[in-house]
Amino acid sequence: MNEMKAMFSKKTLIKLIRSNMVPLLFFVICLGGVVASKLSFLYIVNEIVNRLDRNLFLVLSLIIPVVAGMGLNFALVIGAMAGQIGLIAIKVWNIGGILGLFLAMLISVPFALVFGYATGILLNKTKGKEMITSLILGFFAMGLYQLVFLLFVGTIIPIKNPEIVLPGGIGLKNAIDLSLIQYALDNLLSINIVGVRIPVASFILIGLLCLFTKFILKTKIGQDFRAVGQDMHVAEVAGIDVDRTRLVAITISTLLAAWGQIIFLQNIGTLQTYSSHEQVGMFAVAAILVGGASVTKATISNAIIGTILFHTLFIVSPNAGKNLFGDPQIGEFFRSFVAYGVIALSLALHAIQKNFDANIRAESAE
Nearest to 304 by CA among 291, 286, 293: 291
Of residues 353 and 128, more confidently modeled: 128
Three-class SS state of 113: helix
Instruction: Give me the pLDDT at residue 358, please.
Output: 64
Q: What is the DSSP string of 232-259?
A: HHHHHHTT--HHHHHHHHHHHHHHHHHH
Q: When comparing pLDDT for 157 and 16, which is higher?
A: 157
Predicted confidence at residue 231, as pLDDT, reads 87
CA distances from 350 to 21, 22, 68, 345 (A): 10, 10, 18, 8
Question: What is the pLDDT averaged over residues 126-154?
Answer: 90
pLDDT at 90: 94
pLDDT-derived band at 361 (thresholds 50, 70, 90) equals low
Residue 348 pLDDT > 70, yes or no?
Answer: yes
pLDDT value of residue 67: 93
Residues 6+ apart with CB under 8 A from 288: 59, 62, 63, 72, 298, 302, 303, 306, 307
pLDDT of residue 105: 96
Q: Over the stretch 198-231, which tens digit does the pLDDT of each residue have?
A: 999 999 999 999 999 999 999 999 999 999 998 8
Least confident of 140-144, 217-221, 243-247, 280-284: 280-284
Q: Residue 297's pLDDT is what?
A: 86
Question: Which of 325-352 are b and which e, b meaning 16 or more Cβ less than 10 Å from the residue's Cβ?
Answer: eeeeebbeebbeebbeebbebbbebbee
Q: Is 44 helix (H, G, I), strand (E, B) or coil?
A: helix
CA within 13 Å, CB half, 357: 9
Q: What is the mean pLDDT of residues 16-39?
A: 82
